[in-house]
């Protein structure tokens, strides 16, 4: 029996069920939900989150991994309310996204790691809600000097607490390889590392190379398009099919990188977001899963990426 922390407390990993490996409820900036709640329409965001995740629950989604960090406007009480009222398990994150606080730039990995460890072992924002995953991020241009501090801090917190790491990356530049090198230098068990946003590329050799190292690969930007540009959702799914066909189906997870409120993308009005993804957290269930089945992917292989692999990842 292995337990995992959710915002409503620990549950056994057998209760995770169908799991979307990279999602959000709201995305904003550090401090906005707490100081300027009107800017994100906090009450409206809560109601939307409950409604949309309740709908997702009815159609099979049991758990989401919400990788919203401090600098992405994490609001732990909001996430807790949405989870309780929707019935969807939500695993929340410590760590740091791309907006690394300037206070961390000249810090040490150990000092930052201690902050992450506190949110894993004691709780977040004066609550007893504990993080179940550590989020890190490196994007276009690769790992910056301050980005390396965050990676090494996450590695040390992971080793100390046995908590897995979820890495935002920029697949077209193979940034996951840079992240893996640093984790290897820190002697992290790569079976506890998830390299996300990996369906922003169709480079099969790059993706299989990450898994050959031992890491998990997250194909977690659906439906795609927009500024992530290259592959449309059908192309992204063909990449998934190819990886399964090559024998990598037991190292893959899937998600949308969706949120009900998004304040950091200039063109993402509510209307435009609904247009490119009217299915919210159910795009995969309503579009990708039928596509996989029509392409000959078996129910057992689908259950691996939605159920068995997330469970094994959190048990590693």
Residues 6+ apart with CB under 8 A from 45: 25, 26, 78, 260, 261
pLDDT in tens, 91-123: 999 999 999 999 999 999 999 999 999 999 999
Quick check: 225 pLDDT over 70?
no
**Residue 163 and residue 189 in contact, taking contact as beta carbons nearer than 8 Å:** no
**Residue 117 burial (10 A CB sphere; 0-12, 13-18, 19+):** buried
pLDDT band at 227 (very low <50, low <70, confident <90, very high): low
Mean pLDDT across 73-91: 98
Could you give the CA distance from residue 23 to residue 79 in angstroms, rounded to a whole number? 12
pLDDT for residue 268: 59
CATH number for the domain running over 9-315: 3.20.20.140
Across all residues in the chain, what is the average pLDDT?
95
Quick check: 139 pLDDT over 90?
yes
pLDDT in tens, 188-214: 999 999 999 999 999 999 999 999 999
- Cα 147 to Cα 69, 150, 162, 193, 259: the distances in Å are 15, 5, 22, 16, 24
pLDDT in tens, 162-189: 999 999 999 999 999 999 999 999 999 9
- Cα 31 to Cα 28, 34, 48, 71, 125: the distances in Å are 9, 5, 21, 8, 12
Torsion of CA 152, 116, 141, 21, to 10 degrees: 110
Q: DSSP 3-state assignment of 188?
A: coil
- The helix (H) or strand (E) run that includes residue 4 is strand 3-6
Quick check: 228 pLDDT over 70?
no
Could you give the CA distance from residue 46 to residue 95 in angstroms, rounded to a whole number? 23
Show the CA angle centred on residue 219, arms to residues 217 and 225, nearest 5°.
145
Mean pLDDT across 43-60: 97
Stretch among 66-75, 126-135, 217-226, 291-300 having the lowest mean pLDDT: 217-226
**Residue 37 burial (10 A CB sphere; 0-12, 13-18, 19+):** middle
Quick check: 274 pLDDT over 90?
no
């Amino acid at each position: 029996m292995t337990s995992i922390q959710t915002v409503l407390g620990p549950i056994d990993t057998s209760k995770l069920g169908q799991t979307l490996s990279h999602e959000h409820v709201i995305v904003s900036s550090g401090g906005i939900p707490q100081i300027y709640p009107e800017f994100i329409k906090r009450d409206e965001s809560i109601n939307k989150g409950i409604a949309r995740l309740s709908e997702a629950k009815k159609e099979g989604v049991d758990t989401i991994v919400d990788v919203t960090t401090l600098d992405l406007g994490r609001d732990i009480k909001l996430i807790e309310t949405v989870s309780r009222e929707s019935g969807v398990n939500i695993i929340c994150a410590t760590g740091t996204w791309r907006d690394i606080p300037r206070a961390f730039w000249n810090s040490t990995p150990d000092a930052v790691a201690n902050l992450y460890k506190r949110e894993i072992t004691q709780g977040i924002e004066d609550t007893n809600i504990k993080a179940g995953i550590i989020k890190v991020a490196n994007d276009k241009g690769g790992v910056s000097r301050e980005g390396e501090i965050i990676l090494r801090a996450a590695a040390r917190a992971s080793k100390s607490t046995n908590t897995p790491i979820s890495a935002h990356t920029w697949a077209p530049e193979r940034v996951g390889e840079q992240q893996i090198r640093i984790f290897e230098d820190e002697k992290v068990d790569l079976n506890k590392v998830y390299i996300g946003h990996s369906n922003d590329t169709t480079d099969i050799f790059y993706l299989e190379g990450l898994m050959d190292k031992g890491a998990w690969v997250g194909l977690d930007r659906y439906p795609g398009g927009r500024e992530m540009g290259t592959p449309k959702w059908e192309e992204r799914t063909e990449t998934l099919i190819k990886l399964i066909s090559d024998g990598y189906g037991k190292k893959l997870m899937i998600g949308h990188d969706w949120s009900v409120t998004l304040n950091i993308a200039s063109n993402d009005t509510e209307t435009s977001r609904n247009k490119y993804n009217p299915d919210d957290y159910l795009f995969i269930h309503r579009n990708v899963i039928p596509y996989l089945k029509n392409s000959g992917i078996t129910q057992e292989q689908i259950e691996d990426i939605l159920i068995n692999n997330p469970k094994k990842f959190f048990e590693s």
